[in-house]
Every structure is written in C-alpha cells, then in structure tokens.
Structure 1
Amino acid sequence: MILRRRLLITLSAGLAAPALRAPAAQAARRVTLLHLNDFHSRHEGAQASAASCRTEAPCLGGAARLVAAFHAARAAAAAEGRAVLALDAGDQFLGSLFYTLHKGLAEAAVQRQWGVQAMAPGNHDFNGGPEVLAGYLRALGAPLLAANMDIAGEPALAGLVTPYRVFTTGGARIGVIGLTLENIPQVSSPGPNLRFTSGEAEVARAIAASRAEGPATTVVLSHRGLAADQALALAVPGIDVIVGGHSHTLVTPPMVVDGADRPVRIVQAGAFGRWRGRLDLDLAVDGRVVAHGGGAEEITPAMPEDPATARIVADFAAPLDGFRNQPVARSAGGLENTTCRLGECAVGNLLADALLAAVPGADLVLTNAGGIRTGLPAETITMGDVLTTLPFSNTVATLRLRGGDLLAALENGVSTPGSGRFPQVAGLRFTWNPAAPAGQRIAEARLTSAAHAGPVDPERVYLVVTNDFLRRGGDGYAMFRDRALEAYDAGPPLEEALAAHLRRLGQVVPRLEGRIARR
C-alpha cells in the first residue's frame, strides 16, 4: 500500500510537547530562530492595503518598531536560556523610495540593527544587478546563502555568497542552507553570468557537508514560496526546519510536515515587516528537533520604536522628502492593488491608460500586475506614492507583434492566477476561462481603441506597449522577446508616464470597465 505524505497538526504557540515521533529523544539544547522575509524596503511601514502610510490611517510595521520587536524577542529568549540565531529569507529590496535612492544601504543599516546573521537572496534582491547586490552585501556584513546559485562567472559577487554556513550557538550546531528561485533570470535582473538550479540536489549535498564534522540541525533558508517549501520537505531527507519567504504567507504557528525522514517545521512571517517571526526549538544531541514553539508577532502602531533605528530611518528619509511630497493628482480612493493579480483592477486600468497615452498611435497596452507594488491613496497622490507603486525603474517599451503571439501572451498572463504575470490592459478587452485546458484559456480578445478595433486577428501586426522587463521576456513573456518584429525598450520611465497622466487628469475617478472578464 502506498502511503501519502501528510501535514501534521500544527502545535500551539506555547512550547510543543516533544512526542512528535517515538521514541522521543531527550532535549539537550534550546535555541530560538528569529526570522524575517519580504521586507521590501518598507521602513516607514504600510497600511493594511499595502498603500503608503498616512497620518490619518493606521500604519503597520515600520523599521524602528520591527527592530524593537527583535530586541524584545532576543531578550525574552535569553531569559528563557535560549541561544538566538537571526535569519532573513530574502527580498529586502524594492517597494519604497528608500531602495530607489539608496540601493540597499538603508536596508543593510536596519538589518544590522536587528542583528541578522545570514540571508537567502530573494528575486527582487537582484533587481539592481550584481553590482548593487554586492554593494549591499558589503554593507550588510552577513553572508548571503544560496546553494542553488553558481557565482563562478560573476566577479562582483566573489567572496560574498556561500551555499551554507554552520553556526554554533548555545552548544548546538545549526547548518543553515540558502535557496532561491531557479527562475531568477526570468523574473529579475541578475545579469548574464549567474546560473540557477532547482536546488534539491544542492540541499542534499550541503546537508552532508554540514554534518561531516558532527551532528547538526539543518535549517533551509528559502525564498521559493510555501508550496515549494512543502515539496522540498517531502523530497529531501535530513531537513529539520524551513524558514521561508517569497509567497508572503503568514505561517504561524509553525506548520509541521511529515517529511522524507523526519517532521519538518515550516515558518514564514508574512511580508513588509508587519510580523517578526520566532521559532523556539528544543534539540537532541544528534541535532533533531524534539519540541518546538513560538510564532509570529504582528508589529502594530501601539508598539515602541527603537530610537537608534528611528534616527537611521530619518537620516535615509531626509533626501527623499522634497521629491516625494510633490502632489500630482487627487483621487476619490478605490485604487488598491490587492486584486490586480486575479482580474481587472482600477489602478491597473490607470497605469495601462497612462502607457497608452505615452505612445501615440499604439494599439494596446499589456503590463504585468506584479509591477504594481502598492495601491494609490485616496485624496492627494504625491510623486512619492507613484514611485512606491512603481519602484522598479522600468521603462516604457514598444514592440510590433502578430495577433497570434499577442494571444499567446494573454494565455501566458492568465496561466497562473495570483502571480505577477497577470495582465492589466488598455485598448483591449478579453475573456478568460481558468478551467479551460492550457493554451485555450483565452475565450475572446478584442481591440477597442485603435484603428484595428475588433477581434484580434492572428495574422495582423499590432503596436503593443509594455515595460522593458516584459519586453525582454520577463514573467514568462518570451514571445515579447523572441517574436517581436520591431522593439524599442528605452522609452521614458514608467513612473514618469504615470505621473504625467495623473497630472493631466488632475482628479482620478477609479473605473472598472469590463476590460477583463472571467467565464
């Protein structure tokens, strides 16, 4: 009989009973893992909608409160006789003007304040290329762990990245192995010299190497998302804990998976610095986990700030204020980005309209929902809000494309609902069916605002507006790279196109027009 792997019932926030597998080993060492993931440069916090903070709206997270929460958790663990290891599962970069202007130095300064000891790279940590990442790592002073990234051909990262690191803390040996996404070249900008693999074989090799000099507890520091972490736990023997990121999932209390040869604890602390993660571990002499507890703590406006971190944030914020406080328009609200990866959204329509206006004579716009990092606030919209919404420094790109390839692009966009590739459009309406077979999800597509209005003709050539990330094949849009008949990537920055459109409008009225319909 074939037995299916299963999820075990997760245990309460108190220290778990040690009888996860029989016979239970006697606990010999006590360790606490403090963890963070997907901070995305949110030093000043964010509203629950992910929009920028405003004085009249409660603001969650924030670097100064987050650091204070780390300090409090560290002190509490020490009082309980627990040694502490502080880990970051990646995506520190991108999401506010702090990254736009300072290219990771603000993030490194705050991480030093909460005492990070190792980090796995997230996909957005490559957005500035290897040189920006290298400058950040030198400022950080902690190792970047990436077992499935080959840096041999990239001199900028020489000496800054290692597959794993063994930490000895509280008498315990903790082998921390880093993993990142294998499709980094498709979703970010790592340059031509880095190579990425799936990672399972590399994790197995790193486990063996980390235990060559004695028993160790294996922690995989993963920026691949919860589903991939669960699959890894089932596939690779020897993993004790996975500290995850990328999917922005709040996994608290810890999830326990019946892994390849032992129970695997999986944790993840949401995103944007809104939670500080804590996982308490009782360890046997052989490194196996005999009990666990802890959970993520939400960072609320009522929590204290760390004064030193508040000063650091203020220093990095000072040069941003004059620029980002410039008003560009007013809005009645309703411009959240929370539904843009599933269907039509008002802020997606606004951006697509702005790109269509930026290229006179274009037939249509197709841009990715993942590029819309936050919503836009009600009342006054400032340049800072625009830059926070569009933080990637992407440019307006154009290409001429046959209708058949346009339909393939739409198919790619809806192939993974909830992902960043989901299309936001202007000059185009389409209907899609998520239950249809792959390749047949687009039921209808019609142009609406051009000389070629009507059903998409597979043989006709259309002038398409997008962004340079998609035009170069990002988010699976390989047809924009490989099938373009004529392409130009060096248009104005997206944020400038959106700001110009907002200034022309003056007053924004959010609209849903049926551009994207679901069958």
Structure 2
Amino acid sequence: MKKIAAILALSASTLGLSAGVSFADYTLNILHFNDWHSRIEGNNKYESTCSAEEETKGECIGGAGRLITAIAGERKKLEGQNVLLLNAGDSFQGSLFYTTYKGAVEEEFLNQIKPDAVTLGNHEFDDGETALVPYLDKAKFPIVSANVMPNDKSGASGKIKSSIVVEVGGQKIGIIGAVTNDTPELASPGPNIAIADDVKSITADVEKLKAQGINKIIAVTHIGYRRERDVIAKIPGIDVVVGGHSHTLLSNTDPKAEGPYPTMVDNPDGSKVPVVQAASYSKYLGEFKVVFDDNGVVKEASGAPIYLDKSITPDPTVLARIKELGAPIEALKNKEVAETTKAIDGSRENCRARECEMGNLVSDAILDRTKGQGVEIVISNGGGLRASIDQGTVTMGEVLTVLPFQNTLATFKISGKDLVAGLESGLSQVEDGAGRFPQVAGLKYSFDKSVAPNAGRVKSVEVMENGAWAPINPDKQYLVATNN
C-alpha cells in the first residue's frame, strides 16, 4: 500500500513539474526557389542562355541540372531532419523551351524534383488555360493558390487547392498559396478564372487552418518582396513567407541584396515572421532553418541562399535529357542574326527603373518597323525585357531570351494628355521594380520618383517633330506603337 502511495505521490510531483516545462522546440528546414522562368539550361552573366564555351570556362549559373544536383545534395545533408521544398511560382516563360513545349519541360523537371508545394505565378497564365490546365493535370505535386478562383467552366476547376496540410516530423504544417493581384493585367487568365484579393484570401485560409488546430502556417506567395514583407507577413497567423515575383536577392553578405535573409517582420500578433526570396532563374536555392516553440511561434530563423555556380556539378542525366529536348530548337537558337560591338544592358534592375540600353534598342526597332505607317512614338514596358546580350555575334536564341513573350505590335491613336497619364501610370510602381516602366522612342520625358505615385511624377514630356524636340501637345492625337 505504501509502495502504491509512493508511486502516486511521485507521479503527482512529476506532473506538477512537467506543467512548468515546455515541450521540445520544433525545427523545420525550408528549401525554396522562385521565378525559374524556363531557364532549363544554365545562365551566363547576362542572364541569357549559357553557351558550351561558357560552360567549359565555368561561367554558367543555375539551370535544371545544377538545381536538381543542389536540391538532392541539401536533402541528403539534411537527411533525418524536418525538410520542406517549396516553389513560389513563375516556372513558365523565358526561353525557347517554354516557347516550344508550353510548360511541359518545366513540369517534367519539377516532377523529378518533387516539391512539397508549388504556387502559381502570373506567367503560368500567359497562355490562358492552354498551358495551365495540362500543367495542373500532370503535376505530381500539390499546387496551392488561395486567390485563384476558376469557375465551373474552367478546365482548372477543382485542380488548385487554396491550402494544404503536410505532416513533417510528427508536426502538421499549413501551406497557403497566392498570386499577385494584378495577374489579369500582367497575363491572360481568361474569362473563367478570377483573381481574388490576396490578403482576404490568405486570411480566410489562415482561419480555416487554425480551426483545424494548425499552429504553423507558411504562405508561399508570388506577390513581390515589398508586399510580402509589408503586408503578407503582417497577416495574423502567418508564421513564414516564402515569396517570389520581384526576383529579389536577399542576403546577409552580398552588398547587392535588397534586404537580409531572412527578413524578419513584426506581426501584429507579437511574433516575428521570416520572409525569404531566392532571386530568379535558378541562380540560387534558398535554404533556411526555422525554430518554433510548442505554440507554433517562431523563435528564430537563419540561413543563406546557395549560389548555383560552377561549384555545383549539373546532374549528367538531366543534361542528357535537356540535350534531347533541345534538339528540335537548336537550329533556331543558334541562327546568327546580328553583331554588336558592345554588350547591351537589359538587366531587370535598370530596365524597370530608368532608361536602359535594351529598352532603347527595342523601342527604336519598333519605331523603325512602324514609322512607314505614320507612327511617331513607341512605348514598350521594361518588364518585357528579360535579359542582356553580350558583345559579338547575336543569335536568335539570345533575341528570344530577351523577348520571350511572342508579343505582336499594336498601333493606336492617343491624345497627348492621355499619353502623359499613361506615362504617369507606368512610373507608379518604380519602387517595386514593376514591369510597367515605360521605355520609349520618338519621345523623351523626365520624372521625379520622390513624388507620390500618380500624383505628378512626370515633369516634362517632349516628342520628336520635324527633327527637333518639342513639348507634347495635350490636345493633339499621336499615333503610337507598342508591344501587345
């Protein structure tokens, strides 16, 4: 009897002690990449397709071969630990592989990579449902996006989850996806797919997951670093944001980085939320570690993006498959179309923020092509320029890497007043690196970025008339060409 009493007393004291002790922390390792943009082959320093010669010299970065090697290596290194692999969208569009195969190649390698969740980017909608639906049908990984709303007439209906729950190391993790709100302006989702508000959609799924007892929630979003940092990370209940869309490099060591990796954000619920991105074009594989307490609150987060340069050996089986897939497009890719005596800058950081060399070249080329129709002015968006070109022979492959979207030219008449308003709109998101920045020909303008968006950033506009610059006439109708 005394023995039983002693055991009961010991049990009671043990229970009393455990009431004041936390369960063990939970550590989750997250691998991630975003904005792959069909860079199936490696990139050179101009973010164009890497040549065999550049590969031999060790100058190539990224590509499916290196990406798959890097992911396999990190998974092996983290074997036995809690690991998630996430993709934040825009695997489509950006090379002849997409132009030729319409997403099938990107999906083939994603199926091989086996991500735990993938969200949709705006470029997944570039060809409407024609490329999107086969991608959804053949994906062997969950596709999540809370604000993509197909109706019953859409082939995408029932194929996109707003969120999922995965179990890793005995813990349930909620993963919510979302795409940028302006996808209908940037791409072509079509009449049967609506894009709902990102914050409202994510918030609704947070509440749904919390009601299931999920206390660790990751937002995998294709929205852009600034909004992911300033808005999405502040949605109560969000614990981690893995982002994309703005091609943002985050780093604690690279002076060119836009912010620290991860960027820690104060959530209104009192927690700290890590926000990450891994640049673009498979040049980096993001890797960071998040430590949660037993209430699902982030205690700490740390890591660094891995640069996929010559130190990463491309998977030889993948390279062989790329060669096989590339055979039908090799002749077109290697066709020589021009020579340039110097490199032509088409970098994202320049063409979305200021006049750039590639913007001038493309706009001037459009004007040259259309001036016989009476076109006076060309406006092209900086976001349509996707790479630079190096000095020397220019191939069709390089041209199509710079201009991958198969745009046509459109001409229209517009008043000087409305044209200035269009420039004002084009300058309204310079801070976000938005693709609407206006590159021009036959026109020049000045602007002041310190002025609030749509509040008079445009300071002067002049048009070329009879070989001389003249102030734009607000009442005159101008014939304008643009890429459509």
TM class, shorter-chain normalised? 0.7 to 0.9
2:442 to 400, 421, 427: 427
Partner of residue 130, structure 2: 131
> Unaligned 5+ residue runs, structure 1?
1-22, 469-519
1:381-406: CA deviations, max 9, x gaps? 01111111100111011001111111
Q: Distance in 2 between matches of 1:149 and 1:180?
A: 7
Q: Distance in 2 between matches of 1:288 and 1:313?
A: 43
Equivalent residues of 2:448, 2:459 under 8 A apart = yes
Q: What RMSD over aligned residues (CA atoms) do the two structures have, in Å?
A: 2.1
In the superposition, relative to structure 1, how do residues 131 and 35 fare at CA in structure 2: closer, same or farther (>3 Å)? same
In the TM superposition, what is the alpha-carbon distance from 1:453 to its structure 2 partner?
A: 6.2
- Counterpart residue identity of residue 49, structure 2: S
Equivalent residues of 1:27, 1:283 under 8 A apart = no
Equivalent residues of 1:45, 1:61 under 8 A apart = yes
Equivalent residues of 1:233, 1:257 under 8 A apart = no
Q: Distance in 1 between matches of 2:470 and 2:106?
A: 49
Partner of residue 61, structure 2: 60
2:351 to 340, 365, 376: 340
In the TM superposition, what is the alpha-carbon distance from 1:35 to its structure 2 partner?
A: 0.9
Partner of residue 37, structure 1: 34
Partner of residue 335, structure 2: 326
- Counterpart residue identity of residue 426, structure 1: A
In the TM superposition, what is the alpha-carbon distance from 1:350 to its structure 2 partner?
A: 1.2
In the superposition, relative to structure 1, how do residues 395 and 25 fare at CA in structure 2: closer, same or farther (>3 Å)? farther
Partner of residue 417, structure 2: 404
In the TM superposition, what is the alpha-carbon distance from 1:335 to its structure 2 partner?
A: 0.6
Q: Distance in 2 between matches of 1:232 and 1:335?
A: 36
1:117-172: CA deviations, max 9, x gaps? 21111111111112211112222222221112211255210221010000012111
Partner of residue 15, structure 1: none
Equivalent residues of 1:109, 1:312 under 8 A apart = no
In the superposition, relative to structure 1, how do residues 28 and 346 fare at CA in structure 2: closer, same or farther (>3 Å)? closer
1:270-308: CA deviations, max 9, x gaps? 111011112223344443334433321110123112222
* 3-state SS, counterpart of residue 112 of structure 2: helix
Query: Which 10-residue stretch deviates more, 60-69 or 446-455?
Result: 446-455
Larger gyration radius, structure 1 or structure 2: 2
1:432-474: CA deviations, max 9, x gaps? 2223454422222222266996321111111100011xxxxxx
Equivalent residues of 1:334, 1:346 under 8 A apart = no
Q: So what's the TM-score if we normalise by structure 1?
A: 0.81
Equivalent residues of 2:43, 2:50 under 8 A apart = yes
Q: Distance in 2 between matches of 1:100 and 1:380?
A: 22
Written as runs of structure 1 = structure 2, the 5 A alignment for 1:492-503 is none
In the superposition, relative to structure 1, how do residues 340 and 108 fare at CA in structure 2: closer, same or farther (>3 Å)? same
1:460 counterpart = 2:482: no
> Unaligned 5+ residue runs, structure 2?
1-19, 252-260
In the superposition, relative to structure 1, how do residues 200 and 414 fare at CA in structure 2: closer, same or farther (>3 Å)? closer
Q: Distance in 2 between matches of 1:154 and 1:88?
A: 28
Equivalent residues of 2:174, 2:214 under 8 A apart = no
Q: Distance in 1 between matches of 2:427 and 2:214?
A: 47
Equivalent residues of 1:103, 1:136 under 8 A apart = no
Q: Distance in 2 between matches of 1:270 and 1:433?
A: 28
Written as runs of structure 1 = structure 2, the 5 A alignment for 1:92-491 is 92-233=91-232, 235-252=234-251, 253-261=261-269, 262-338=271-347, 339-359=350-370, 360=372, 361-417=374-430, 418-436=433-451, 438-448=454-464, 454-468=470-484
Equivalent residues of 2:287, 2:303 under 8 A apart = yes
* 3-state SS, counterpart of residue 41 of structure 1: coil
Partner of residue 502, structure 1: none
Query: Which 10-residue stretch deviates more, 237-246 or 145-154?
Result: 145-154
- State percent identity of aligned pairs: 35
In the TM superposition, what is the alpha-carbon distance from 1:27 to its structure 2 partner?
A: 3.0
- Counterpart residue identity of residue 310, structure 2: P
Equivalent residues of 1:43, 1:313 under 8 A apart = yes
In the superposition, relative to structure 1, how do residues 415 and 309 fare at CA in structure 2: closer, same or farther (>3 Å)? same
Q: Distance in 2 between matches of 1:114 and 1:127?
A: 24
Q: Distance in 2 between matches of 1:193 and 1:150?
A: 8
Q: Distance in 2 between matches of 1:35 and 1:169?
A: 16
Query: Which 10-residue stretch deviates more, 175-184 or 438-447?
Result: 438-447
Equivalent residues of 2:96, 2:400 under 8 A apart = yes
1:49 to 46, 49, 55: 46
Equivalent residues of 1:153, 1:194 under 8 A apart = no
Q: Distance in 1 between matches of 2:203 and 2:425?
A: 33
- Counterpart residue identity of residue 185, structure 1: P
Q: Distance in 1 between matches of 2:32 and 2:466?
A: 51
Partner of residue 254, structure 2: none
Q: Distance in 2 between matches of 1:433 and 1:29?
A: 49
In the TM superposition, what is the alpha-carbon distance from 1:237 to its structure 2 partner?
A: 1.4
Equivalent residues of 1:327, 1:382 under 8 A apart = yes
1:484-508: CA deviations, max 9, x gaps? xxxxxxxxxxxxxxxxxxxxxxxxx
Equivalent residues of 1:154, 1:194 under 8 A apart = no
Q: Distance in 2 between matches of 1:25 and 1:196?
A: 42
Equivalent residues of 2:233, 2:241 under 8 A apart = no
- Counterpart residue identity of residue 200, structure 2: A
* 3-state SS, counterpart of residue 380 of structure 2: strand
1:67-96: CA deviations, max 9, x gaps? 100001111111xx3132211001111111
* 3-state SS, counterpart of residue 173 of structure 2: strand
Q: Distance in 2 between matches of 1:214 and 1:433?
A: 50
* 3-state SS, counterpart of residue 212 of structure 2: coil
- Counterpart residue identity of residue 326, structure 1: K
Q: Which has the higher contact order (CA 8 A, sep 6+)?
A: 1
Q: Distance in 2 between matches of 1:355 and 1:195?
A: 33
Query: Which 10-residue stretch deviates more, 201-210 or 429-438?
Result: 429-438
* 3-state SS, counterpart of residue 399 of structure 1: strand
Partner of residue 74, structure 1: 75
Q: Distance in 1 between matches of 2:408 and 2:351?
A: 20
Q: So what's the TM-score if we normalise by structure 2?
A: 0.87
Q: Distance in 1 between matches of 2:284 and 2:42?
A: 11
